[in-house]
Amino acid sequence: MNHRAENLYHQITGRKYTIVFSMGIAAVLILLADIAIGPAWLSIDEIFLAVFSPDSVDPTTSTIVWKLRLPIALMAIVVGASLAIAGAEMQTILGNPLASPYTLGVSASAGFGAALALVAGVSVFPSGKNYIVPINAFFFAMLTCLLMYSVAKKAKFSSETMVLAGIAILFLFQSLTALLQYIASEQQLQAVIFWLFGNLFRTTWQKLGISSAILLLTIPLLAKDAWKLTTLRLGDEKAESLGVNVERLRLKTFVLVSILTGAAVCFVGTIGFIGLAGPHIARMLVGEDQRFFLPVSALTGAILLSSASVLSKLIVPGIILPIGIITSFIGVPFFISLMFKKRGGYW
């Protein structure tokens, strides 16, 4: 009996390991495609040469690969993973399937911060010339996370209150942004709209470095709590009876997730959907066990945003299409088809 159960356990986890592994491979393949595809149609050899010995190719090719394609392609992976992890943990600690950086108003407030810098030239902290917009965005993202957390605490993490408060915040910041757009000159208006669409073209190695560093620091901290986070989904009382300090865990995770979200959205703008869909797709694939849920969420997010990046280059070659517009096109059909397959209710 015990032996059989153990076998079954290995069978299930084995299947899950396979999923993690194959998604990892898929993410790498899409990353390669993202680097290989672009309006300049470089050959694979050229790209290979440019990556491994940049001096042997002509300077334009090496610029294209090193300054444009690599940072953007990697940023797609990092931001996709960050947003999906953030969404996953928000859903876990708030016990709410609708929680995501977008639905809780975090993206909208980041957008407001950016618009404030672009239209009014107001920066909340003195900062270097390339960082006024991201720092403002980051600051407002944090502010909203904090606000949402205090609302959640007051409301004892009740699902309805959280969603309503999130939507209220979303509307508040959207109308504040609209107000700024109203007073903006046409030039500023364009810059704000472009920011709000969300795109990866602002990526530099430095920005990529910041986002990656935060992602890489956050993952082990969250992974350390994987078991505790899994128990949260059984309900607070059960988690507490298993010796988890629920309150502390929530606060700690929330802080981590806020920073993660802020670091992702502040450089790329509003990219909705991934933070919501990524974790749900992961949950449908591997369930609630955080040992798998966390990496699969991250990989799903990375794959979604990376494919969106590839697609945005293929739809109209030669022009820039904001990736935020594409993201939902990719995710929604997949998301809905999975939803119908898992009729039994996975949440």
Partner 1 sequence: MIRMTKHNFLMIIAAALLIILSGEHAAGNENRLSHKKRITVTDLAGRKVSVQIPAEKIILSFDRHLPTFSAIAGHDFLEKIVGWGKITPISDQNIYREFKKKYPEIMSIPDIGTHAKGTFSVEKVMALKPDLILYPLWAVLDKYEGITDDLDRLEQAGIPTVIIDYWKDPFENSITSTLLIGSMLGKEERAGEIAAFYKDRVGKVINRLANIKKNKPKVYLEGASKEPSQYGWSCGNAGWGVILKKAGAVNIAEGIIKERGTIAPEYLLKTNPDIIIVSSFGGFWQQPDDEMKTVLPEYDKKPMLDFLKAITERPGWGHLDAVKNGKIYGIFDSSYYIYNNIYTFAVVQAIAKWLYPDEFKDLDPGADLHLFEQRFMPVYHNDLQMIEINR
- With CB under 8 A as the contact rule, which of the stretches 2-10, 162-170, 179-187, 264-272 interacts with partner 1? 179-187
161 lies in the binding site for partner 1 (CB under 8 A): no
Question: What angle in degrees, to the nearest 10, is found between the helix axes of 70-94 and 290-315?
Answer: 140
Window 202 to 231, contacts with partner 1 (CB under 8 A): 202
Is residue 101 within 8 A of residue 85, CB to CB? The reply is no
Give the tokens for residue 5. 């159960």
158 lies in the binding site for partner 1 (CB under 8 A): no
185 lies in the binding site for partner 1 (CB under 8 A): yes
320 lies in the binding site for partner 1 (CB under 8 A): yes
**Is 82 in a helix, a strand, or coil?**
helix
**Which residue among 33, 181, 226, 325 contacts partner 1 (CB under 8 A)?**
181
- Which residue, 13 or 123, has its beta carbon nearer to partner 1? 123
189 lies in the binding site for partner 1 (CB under 8 A): yes
45 lies in the binding site for partner 1 (CB under 8 A): no
Is residue 124 within 8 A of residue 282, CB to CB? The reply is no
**Is 313 in a helix, a strand, or coil?**
helix
Whole-number Å distance between alpha carbons of 73 and 21: 21
CB of 62 to partner 1, least distance (A): 9
DSSP string, 255-284: HHHHHHHHHHHHHH----SHHHHHHHHHHH
Give the tokens for residue 141. 């993202």
197 lies in the binding site for partner 1 (CB under 8 A): no
250 lies in the binding site for partner 1 (CB under 8 A): no
51 lies in the binding site for partner 1 (CB under 8 A): no
- Which residue, 131 or 254, has its beta carbon nearer to partner 1? 131
317 lies in the binding site for partner 1 (CB under 8 A): yes
CA angle, 206 as apex, 119 and 303 as ends, to 5°?
90
**Which residue among 318, 340, 344, 345 contacts partner 1 (CB under 8 A)?**
318
- Which residue, 14 or 317, has its beta carbon nearer to partner 1? 317
Q: Please work out the total of residues on this chain that contact partner 1, with binding judged by CB under 8 A.
A: 42
- Which residue, 189 or 311, has its beta carbon nearer to partner 1? 189
- Which residue, 129 or 343, has its beta carbon nearer to partner 1? 129
11 lies in the binding site for partner 1 (CB under 8 A): no
Give the tokens for residue 119. 């239209």
141 lies in the binding site for partner 1 (CB under 8 A): no
174 lies in the binding site for partner 1 (CB under 8 A): no
Q: Which of 334, 231, 234 has its CA nearest to residue 285? A: 334
CB of 187 to partner 1, least distance (A): 5
**Which residue among 52, 55, 156, 182 contacts partner 1 (CB under 8 A)?**
182
Whole-number Å distance between alpha carbons of 261 and 143: 12
Window 79 to 118, contacts with partner 1 (CB under 8 A): 117-118
Whole-number Å distance between alpha carbons of 124 and 117: 9
121 lies in the binding site for partner 1 (CB under 8 A): yes
Is residue 199 within 8 A of residue 324, CB to CB? The reply is yes
Q: CA 162 → CA 99, 102, 109, 232, distances in Å?
A: 8, 13, 16, 17
Q: CA 285 → CA 58, 76, 127, 228, 294, distances in Å?
A: 45, 22, 43, 21, 12
Query: Which stretches of the chain bind partner 1, using CB under 8 A?
Result: 38-41, 59-60, 63-64, 67-69, 117-118, 121, 123, 126-130, 132-133, 181-191, 194, 201-202, 313, 316-320
